[in-house]
Structure 1
């Protein structure tokens, strides 16, 4: 049963997300990345996403939406795109060492900033919040 009188999740988290994104944007810019570029590098660094279609699905984007981002990342030497030898219509994606270093450096700076925010929570609440955020971010819904 829903808790009476609590704000909707979107109302509570929307402002927090805007503030987090506003804090991340200059960090990403220092690394020559956009938010979408960072999302793409993170997906490629974290898992076996191999095709543009699989990447788009993994990050919740239309595959045509990410083409410009992929072009920029490739031009900057952060990713590779090679034709699939089994199907030349398909492009196989890879993250370069420079891409991995850029993503991880940006992530470290972002998480340094997040520590100041998370530091406002008692340790037990912080652990619970991070666990709940991970579970909800990976949940299939609706």
Structure 2
């Protein structure tokens, strides 16, 4: 039977601190590419697949649909995303990355991976593989 180890912080406390440190490490990367955190989240979601509606996108990224409108407007003004009426239902807006959006997403993601590698440098190669595997296993959004 598993018994909790009393001499360590709770998982939530450790994960929140790690998450905050990762967000702090990402901020200069995002600023260098002139994209907001929400902008990068949208680009990431659309990099996987186009979305049929803004509501579906908001649901997929865990945002209020009214909150992301300004982000979508900015990304569209910068020609990073397209919002086109669905030919089958003109009330619906299809969202997808443009080639420029795909290029920006790839550049930001590469720079974020570099920052992550610096953070993970304290781990051995075996610990790094285990850490990443376990995170993927525990990720509620994982498939």
Q: Scaled by the length of structure 2, what TM-score is found?
A: 0.90
- The equivalent of 1:131 in structure 2 is 133
Does 1:38 find its partner at 2:40?
yes
- The equivalent of 1:27 in structure 2 is 29
Among 98, 101, 104, the residue aligned to 1:102: 104
- The equivalent of 2:53 in structure 1 is 51
State the 4+ residue runs in structure 1 displaced beyond 3 angstroms. Answer: none
Name the SS for the 2:38 alignment partner.
Answer: helix
Measured after TM superposition, the shift of residue 2 of structure 1 is 5.6
Measured after TM superposition, the shift of residue 72 of structure 1 is 0.5
Measured after TM superposition, the shift of residue 113 of structure 1 is 1.1
Measured after TM superposition, the shift of residue 3 of structure 1 is 1.9
Alignment of 1:77-88 (within 5 A): 77-88=79-90
**Counterparts of 1:89 and 1:61, CA distance in 2:** 21
Does the CA contact (< 8 Å) of 2:45 and 2:57 recur in 1? Answer: yes
Aligned residues: 140
Among 48, 66, 69, the residue aligned to 1:67: 69
**Counterparts of 1:2 and 1:73, CA distance in 2:** 49
Structure 1 gaps of 5+ residues are none
- The equivalent of 2:94 in structure 1 is 92
- The equivalent of 2:14 in structure 1 is 12
Measured after TM superposition, the shift of residue 97 of structure 1 is 0.6
